[in-house]
Amino acid sequence: QAFIDSVSCDGGGDAEEAVEHALAAAREEHAAQPITRVLLIGDAAPHTERQGDRLRHHDHVLLTDYLREADLLDQCGVPVYAFHLGDHAEASFRHIAETTGGAAQALDDPQGLIDVVCQNAIDDIGGAELVAEYKARYSS
C-alpha cells in the first residue's frame, strides 16, 4: 500500500513510453525462466511506430513494437495485466491486455492493483479455490 501511495503522475517530459521494450523483456525472461503473467503500469501510451520505424523523438529504429510483443506474449500463454494512470494509455493498454488474455483498468484506486497482484499470486499458490476464498474475504 505504501508503494502505491508513493506513486505519482507528474509528467515525465515525453509523451510515449517504451512499452514494447518492457514487453520484449518479459518475453525474453519467459524464454529463460517461465513466467505466469506480466504486470504493466504506465501513464502514457506506447510508441506508435512499428517495428523497423525510426522513433520520432529518438535517434534509433524500433527493433519491435508493442502490438507484436503482445501477440508473442499471447502465443507464449502469458497474460498482461495493465494499469494506466489517466486516459492517454487506456486504449493501447486495453488492447495489450485483451490480446494476451489479461485485464486492463485505470489505476485510480490502489485496491484494484492490490487485488490483481494478490489474486494472481494466490492462483499460482493454491488455484481457483484459494482465489475464491480471498475474494469472499477481501472483496467489497
State which H helix or E strand residue 40 sits in.
Answer: strand 38-42
Considering the domain architecture, whether residues 115 and 96 belong to the same structural domain is answered as no
Considering the domain architecture, whether residues 127 and 140 belong to the same structural domain is answered as yes
Confidence (pLDDT) at 3: 59
Considering the domain architecture, whether residues 98 and 59 belong to the same structural domain is answered as yes
Phi, psi values for residue 120, rounded to 5°: -70, -40
Q: Which domain holds residue 134?
A: 109-140
Considering the domain architecture, whether residues 136 and 83 belong to the same structural domain is answered as no
Considering the domain architecture, whether residues 29 and 72 belong to the same structural domain is answered as yes
pLDDT tens-digit readout, 54-101? 777 777 777 788 999 999 999 999 999 999 988 889 999 999 999 999
Considering the domain architecture, whether residues 93 and 137 belong to the same structural domain is answered as no
Considering the domain architecture, whether residues 45 and 114 belong to the same structural domain is answered as no
Which among 88, 118, 81 has a CA at the least distance from the CA of 103?
81
pTM exceeds 0.75 for this model: yes
Confidence (pLDDT) at 14: 60
Considering the domain architecture, whether residues 54 and 64 belong to the same structural domain is answered as yes
Task: Give how many domains the chain has, as a whole number.
Answer: 2
pLDDT tens-digit readout, 97-110? 999 999 999 998 88
